[in-house]
Structure 1
Amino acid sequence: MNYHWQWYRIPQYLGAMGDTGFIPGPLIQGLGVTIKISVAALLLSSLFGLVAALARLSNLFSLRVLARIYLELIRNTPLLVQLFFIYFVVSPTLNISRFAAAVLTLALFEGAYASEIIRAGIISIPQGQWEAAISLGLSRHHTFRHVILPQAIRIMLPPLTSQMVSLVKDSALVSTIAVYDITMRGQEIMAETYLVFEIWLTIALIYLGITYTLSLVTRFMEKKLSPTP
């Protein structure tokens, strides 16, 4: 295409060394926002997923119905639509920032998938574990906390880590509501410099570095937590 590559201009958007040390450029600043959103959404989605999973396993019909509605509503609508709905409808009502709206949307979306992972981990524990713990005098709450959950975590952690990879990639959509993550910062730079290919490839490589690192963590956890023959 006879495109004139200008990779020499990219380092200034990553950062530079100054008198006080490393000064992050706009892409690194955006990466910091992406990481903050991903970590906050991960913690909140774990909470949503645990609550939804326990509601699905509850003996109360109303809780099971509410959890089912949440799962079907979230899993059968696009994330972008959910993001716009929370930002343009819920956010003004609750008076929350666009950052909070982005975190809430990602947490609700990823929490729906995490809940199925958590539920599958819990029900994979043999019923005999419940019966043995209760026969020893443990309450249902203590049985779940001290017997069932520790065993289920070993099963849940690898797929939950994989879900975290999806969360990081999905966080790129928050740029559509003007959250200054790495994607939004890249779009700003491209509008000023027209370095379209260089900036997009740089952003892609940064995301690849993050997700590949998380994938290595997932593989390591699968090896450590898998039962030895």
Structure 2
Amino acid sequence: MRIALFATCLADTLFPEAAKATVRLLERLGHEVVFPFEQSCCGQMHVNTGYQRDALPLVKRYVSVFDRYDVIVAPSGSCVGSIRHQHSLVASNCGERGLAARAQDVGSRTYELSELLVDVLGVEDVGARYPHRVTYHPTCHSLRMIRVGDKPLRLLRQVRGLELVELPAAEQCCGFGGTFALKNAETSAAMLADKLTSVVATGAEVCTAGDASCLMHIGGGLRRKETGVRTVHLAEILAST
């Protein structure tokens, strides 16, 4: 299968290993991965802070770049959620009905990594090996917006050598929420403190998730507290051999 990679801003600028791991994993499974160089931001940050018209050019860019591909993957439930649930809405609200229809179509072909693996490619054992004690944080957008359910856990359970431990209060938000962490810093910090307590309580060496944004937030807190717990993107674990 030929799959187009939408790397996302955070992967491109701060967490390139997540995007690289996605490519390695899919190529190991026998698929061709292409990277359209014209891609840019999905526009989620603009939409979530009320600047829909400023997000419109980014919606147009995404549709223009990825319309030619039957399957698109992104290592981010958050960005996939924006593409599926915000792009068409933004276009419609800006009076671009034709674009709205195209955005909805392209969005329906855009998948978060665990969705692609389990639902489209029909695979749970990806041949990975990762001999560490790991806990999984289900990010808000993947859990509530695109509803990946237990797909990441099903994939992790098949990783050789990996000891998967349940995260207490797993479904509670880590407090990042994009600009929420900036505009409501004290509330965000309190939410993060609860999440850190839960992560440390597992005794895990690694906390994983499908969104670099949440891992950035949680990882920063874990490092500041010198817990010794690392954050690793789900794609990197699944690409390990």
Name which structure has the greater RCO, CA cutoff 8 Å, separation 6+.
1
**Bigger fraction of residues in strand:** 2
Q: TM-score, normalised by structure 1?
A: 0.21
Q: TM-score, normalised by structure 2?
A: 0.20
**Bigger fraction of residues in helix:** 1
